[in-house]
Amino acid sequence: MQTAEIHRRWLDFFEKRGHTVVPSASLVSDDPSLMFTVAGMVPFVPYLSGLVPAPYPRATSVQKCIRTNDIEEVGRTPRHGTFFQMCGNFSFGDYFKEDAIRFAWELLTTSEADGGLGFDPADLWVTVYEEDEEAIALWKQHSTLPDERIQRLGKDTNYWSTGQPGPAGPCSEIFYDLGPEYGVDGGPATDDDRYVEIWNLVFMQYQVADVRSKTEFTILGELPNKNIDTGMGLERVAFIKQGVQNMYEIDQVRPVLDRAAELSGKRYGADHTDDVRLRVIADHVRSGLMLIADGVTPSNEGRGYILRRLLRRVILSMRLLGVEGASFAELFPVSRDAMRDAYPAVAEGFDFISRVAYAEEKTFLRTLASGIQILDTAVERARDGAAAVPGDTAFLLHDTHGFPIELTLEIAEEAGVGVDEGVFSALMQEQRDRAKADAKAKKGQRADLSVYKELRGLGETRFTGYDELSHESRVLGIVVDGAPVAEAGEGQIAELVLAETSLWAESGGQDADQGVILGDGFEAEVLDVQKPVPGLIVHTVRVTVGRVGIDARAETRVDADYRRGAAQAHSGTHIVHAALREVLGAGAHQAGSYNKAGYLRLDFTHTDALSAATKSEIEEISNLAIRADHEVVTREMPLDEAKSLGAMALFGEKYGDRVRVVDIGGPWSRELCAGTHVSSSAEVGMISLISESSVGSTNRRVESLVGMEAFRNFAAERAIVQQLTSGLKVPRAELVTRVQDLGAQLKAAEKKVAALEAEKLGQRVPELLAGAETLGGSRVVLGSLGRVGSADDIRGLALQLRDRLGSEPGVVVLAGAVPAGEGTEKPVVIAATTARARETGVKAGDLAKLGARVLGGGGGGKPDLAQGGGADVAKIDEALAEIRRDLAG
C-alpha cells in the first residue's frame, strides 16, 4: 500500500465519521516556543488547551512534522527521520475514550478491500496507563485482543502532559509485532525493537499543577471539557504495509536512496556504514525539499540553520560515498516526484526549491574546499611530529566549515595520523552547554499566553479598518504587567482587548497602526497593536487621561495620515514585487517583507547582486505602474479559487479556507494579502529604491522610500546637486564630468605629494646608514621617522637601506606615525633583513611582532620583510629600544 494511499484512507475514514478534514499546517510553527511543527497536535494546541474556542467539535489531519533532536540517529535505526507525517484525529469536548479506541481498532483491522488498513489483529499489542481501568475495559470491549496483549505501563511511558501546569491525561499506545526474528517475546513492555509503536491515543482529561517532573505532579481534578489527541506515524505504518525493513525504504523515500547509490557506485545492503550514509541522504533530501517548500531558506541561525545543517549533511555523506561534485540536481527532482502526489506544492514550487538548494550546495562545496586545505595543513604538521590533528582544529572545521568529526577522522586515518578527540569532545560539550543556557534564557523570556485564554474565549476580535478609520466598541479585558486587571489609570501602560477595532495589528509584513482610543472619561495613546494568539487583537496603550475599566465604551481612531502612508507602502510592496518578477523572471519570489508609512523592505529569492541598470529598470517599471493608475481590487474567496486565478501564495505564509486577494492592474500583480491598501496605484505617489543587498546565499533585499518620503529624498538629492553646481560653477549636465575631473586632479596631486614625500625620505638614507650599529653580528639600522605619509613609504625606505647594506649580515627596522583617519595617527613598524642575516637566525617577522607588541597591536610577515602596527604612537622609541635589546642578545 503506497504512502499516499494510507494518507487518503486515513482522512476518508475520519471524514465519514464526522471529522472536519484540516489541511496540514506549515512546517514553520505559529507557536513562538517552537521552531517547527514537531507533532500532529501542534496546530490544535490552542483548541486543546482552551486558549481559543475550537471551530469544530472533531477534526482529522495528516500533518507534516520536522524533528532534529535525534538527528544523529537518522539512518541508524528503522524509524528515526527528520521529516515525518503524523495522522491525527482530535475531539474537542466531543467524543472521548470509547470512540477513540473504537475508531482506532476499526481502521487498523478493517480489510483493505473495505477501506481499512488491513492489519491482522494477531500482530497488534496495546499498552495502557496502569491505573486506567476504563481504557482497559474499553479495549476488551471493542477489540479481539487477549488480556496478555493489553499491557499496563507506568507514568513514564503512558501518561501525557506538556511538562507545565495545564491539561494532562493517560494514553494508550498501539504496537505492531514484527515477529520473533526481530527480537524477544514479551510485548512492548520489553522495550525491544521488535515492537513498533504505530499509534498513540491521548486521553486529555485532567488538570495538573505543581509539575515537578514527568512523573511527579498534582492532579487538581477533571477538565470540564475532555479532549482526544491521537497520532499515527504514517511512515511507520507505510514500511510495515510495504513489507520493507525501515522508513527509508518506503515509496516516498527509497527513490532518493537508490539514486544516491547509483551516483556513488555503491550497492545498498552491501556495507552497513554506506547504508547509513545512503539513508541519511534520502531522509535529509526529503526534509530539505519540504522545508524549502514551506519558505525556509538556509541561514546561520534559527530554522535556516537547521535546513543548512540538513543540506550539508547530505553533501558530506555523498562525499564520504566518493561523490565530490554537485549532486542536488540529481537528488532533489527524484524526491519531488516521490512526494508530489501527497504534496502537489513541491512540484508547483520546484523552481524556487531547486534554486535555493542548488545555490546552498554550490556555496558549501566552496567552503568544503577551504576546509580541506586547513585539514591538509594540520595533517602535514601531524606527520611532521605532532602525531595527531589538534582537537581545536577539528572543532574549527566542525563549527566554522561544517565538517562532521567523522569526515575529519576519515581523512586523518587515510593519511596515517590521529585526531585529538578528547579536546574536540570537550569543546563540543562547551558549545552544547552554551546553547542550553541560551535556550533556557530565551525560554524564560517567552510571554505567558495563558492570560489571553479567557479573553479569546469571549470571541474573535473583529477588524473593521478596511472600511473605516474609527469604530465604537467596548472594552472586554485589560492586562497590566501580564496580569488581568479591572481598570488602568492615567500614566499606566496597559493592554486593551476590544470587541471590535479599526486599528490594524502588525501582521503580513505591515506595521501596526498609530492612533488613539477614546471613551467616557478616558483617553489612551496607542503604542502597539498585536495578535498574541490567533483571532485576538491586543492594543498596547498609554492612558493619558482618566481611567479605563472593563465594559467601558471605547472608540478606536486611526491616525489617517499614518494609515495612508502604510497603505501606500503595502501597495508599493506588491508593485515592486511584480516589477522584480517582470525584470528577473518568475523565480524572483517574495521571501519576506516589512512596510510602514513611507518605507518598504522586500526580500526576494535571487542569488546575484542587481546591477545599477537593473535597479533603475525595476524602479522605472514600478513608477510606470503608479502612473498608469491601476485599480486596486480586493476580493474574498475560497483559497482554491484564488490559486486557480493565479494569486500568489507567498512561501512561509499561512492561509485559511477563505482568503483575501489583492489585484493591482488585474493579473499583473495578484497576491493573497490581508493588509490595507490604496484604491488605485496612483495613490502610492512615488517609489524610490534606496538600497539592494544580500540577506543570504539565495536571498536579496531591496529597500524603498514611498510617497512623500520618496519625494523628500529626491528633493534632498536635488538640493545637493544645486549646491554642487553652484559651488563648482558648472551646469547640471556637466556636473559629473567636473567631479570626475576634480577627482583625477586630486589623485594626481596626491601622487605628486607621495613622490615628494618618498624623495624627502630617500634623502635620509645617508643619515640613517651613518647611524648604523653592529648588534649580534649584524649591521643594524634603527630609525624613528616621525610623521610619514603611509606604511608604503616606510617600506620603500627600508628596502632602499637593506639594498645599501649589500651582502653583509644586515637588519633594518624603521617606525613612524601614519594617518589613521579623522585627524588621528597610528604607529607602523617595518623590518627587513638580508640573506646573510637570515642565515644567522634573524627573522623580520619576529622583529615586527616584537615591536608591535610594545605598540599595543600585532604584526608579522616573511623572514625577509614584515610589518607590525599598534595603537600608541608615543611608544615608538620604546618599541625600537626593545628590538635593539633583542638583536643585541
Is 677 annotated as contributing to ligand binding? Answer: yes
Residue 773, all three cell numbers:
650599529
Collapsed DSSP state (helix, strand, coil) of residue 429: helix
DSSP state, 776? Answer: T
> Cell 539512518 identifies what position?
75
Task: Give the chain's largest Cα–Cα span.
Answer: 110
CATH of 769-888, one of 3.10.310.40, 3.30.1600.10, 3.50.50.60, 3.40.640.10: 3.10.310.40
Dist CA 363 CA 356 (whole Å):
11
Give phi and psi for 211, each to the nearest 5.
-80, 115
Angle between helices 3-15 and 97-109 (to 10 degrees): 140
Give the tens place of pLDDT for each residue, 127-179: 999 999 999 999 999 999 999 999 999 999 999 987 778 889 999 999 999 99
Q: Kindly tell me if the per-residue pLDDT of 238 is higher than 60.
A: yes
Torsion, Cα 850 855 861 866, to 10 degrees, reads -90
Q: Kindly tell me if the per-residue pLDDT of 654 is higher than 70.
A: no
Q: Quote the mean pLDDT of the chain.
A: 90
Q: Kindly tell me if the per-residue pLDDT of 444 is higher than 60.
A: no
Identity (one letter) of the amino acid at 671?
A: E
**pLDDT grade, residue 51 (50/70/90)?**
confident
- Domain 3-248 sits in CATH at 3.30.930.10
Give the tens place of pLDDT for each residue, 533-588: 888 999 999 999 999 999 999 999 999 999 999 999 999 999 999 999 999 988 78
Is 577 annotated as contributing to ligand binding? Answer: no
**pLDDT grade, residue 261 (50/70/90)?**
very high
Whole-number pLDDT of residue 138: 97
Q: Where are the alpha helices (DSSP H) in 271-327?
A: 272-293, 302-320
Give phi and psi for 115, each to the nearest 5.
95, 0
Specify whether domain 563-706 bears CATH 3.30.980.10: yes
- How many other C-beta atoms are found inside a 10 Å radius of the C-beta of residue 706? 31
Identity (one letter) of the amino acid at 668?
A: W
Dist CA 845 CA 852 (whole Å):
11
Please state the rounded mean pLDDT for residues 58-77. 90
Whole-number pLDDT of residue 139: 97
> Strand pairing of 150-153 and 124-129?
parallel
For the chain, domain boundaries: 3-248, 273-442, 452-558, 563-706, 769-888
Q: 207 and 223 in contact (C-beta within 8 Å)? A: yes
Is 471 annotated as contributing to ligand binding? Answer: no
Can you say how many angstroms the Cα of residue 46 is from the centroid of all Cα atoms in its chain?
A: 24
Dist CA 885 CA 775 (whole Å):
9
Specify whether domain 452-558 bears CATH 2.40.30.130: yes
Q: How far is CA 581 from CA 292, 350, 713, in A?
A: 19, 16, 26
- The answer to whether the Cα torsion of 504, 506, 511, 514 is positive or negative is positive
CA angle 514, 518, 522 (to 5 degrees): 125
Is 570 annotated as contributing to ligand binding? Answer: yes
Whole-number pLDDT of residue 157: 92
